[in-house]
Amino acid sequence: MPIAVDIDVMLAKRKMSVGELAERVGITPANLAVLKNGRAKAVRFSTLAALCEVLECQPGDLLRWETDGDADPTLL
């Protein structure tokens, strides 16, 4: 997928668990896992805004575009 999700990176930087983030954002841990693992087909701007507010970051810190050549071969 050309959009990579870096929520794990921000969680590590903030020393926050997935459960805590889900609770503070107001989504289920299962839905956060779908987004975090790059399986989501879409994300609401309100959810993205809440993630950025809780993690004190910008959308670009959570999402990035990569070409096929940039993909991590271990994830294929």
Q: Per-residue pLDDT for 69 more than 70?
A: no
Q: Which residue has the higher pLDDT, 16 or 73?
A: 16
Q: What is the pLDDT of residues 8-48, one digit of tens each?
A: 999 999 999 999 999 999 999 999 999 999 999 999 999 99
Write the single-letter amino acid at 27. Answer: I
* CA–CA distances in Å: residue 25 to residues 1, 2, 71: 25, 25, 28
Structure tokens at 63: 């999402």
**What's the pLDDT at 73?**
54
pTM for this predicted structure: 0.84
**What's the pLDDT at 8?**
95
Residue 71, phi-psi category: left (phi > 0), alpha (psi -120 to 50), beta (remainder): beta
Structure tokens at 73: 């071969």
